[in-house]
Amino acid sequence: MMGKDSSMMKAWEATVKKTQAVAKKRANSIFGSTYVAASQGDENENKDETEVYHAERVLSNGDYYKGEWVDNFPHGKGKYLWTDGCIYVGEWFKGKTMGKGRFTWPTGPSYEGEFKSGYMDGIGSYTGANGDTYKGQWVMNLKHGHGEKIYSNGDKYEGEWRRGLQDGQGKYEWK
């Protein structure tokens, strides 16, 4: 989706280098919803507010977005890069992650799957920085429902989860 480098992308990269050292909140947590603020100064002011169009923006907070846009929000398919190094590529609805997408943190973890109202919600796969993986159901950023976690040491749990914890019927295998 990104294609060749643009001046906006280069400006975003410069901003990332300046702010990455101090912007570590999101990099250390996966438990915040993912959405963006409205854009200021729409360069396509003559567009109908309900018309979806392609946009490339560096937002006032330094974040970068390229993709479909409507009514001052990401809406449709797009790529969003935060100044702290987090990246989301996928579907948006009125400024919130909604549908299928992939979120990666600069420290290595990634989630690929379904999003709802800015949260990991539905079926998805998470790979942690330490190599642990989880594939299964999510509700509001928490493992909830049936899933399988494979630990980096080879141990495996398959079964039920509730509010992010193993709960209910399940099977744990030690390696």
The pLDDT tens digits for 105-151 are 999 999 999 999 999 999 999 999 999 999 999 999 999 999 999 99
- Count other Cβ atoms within 10 Å, centred on residue 66: 22
Q: Which residues contact 150 (CB under 8 A, 6 or more apart)?
A: 132, 133, 134, 156
pLDDT at residue 160 is higher than 50? yes
Summarised one tens digit per residue, pLDDT across range 59-86 is 888 999 999 999 888 999 999 999 999 9
3-class DSSP state for residue 66? strand
On the 0-12 / 13-18 / 19+ scale of CB atoms within 10 A, 104 is: middle
Question: What are the C-alpha distances in Å from 103 to residues 80, 87, 89, 113, 140?
Answer: 9, 6, 7, 9, 14
For residues 82 and 96, the answer to whether their CB atoms sit within 8 Å is no
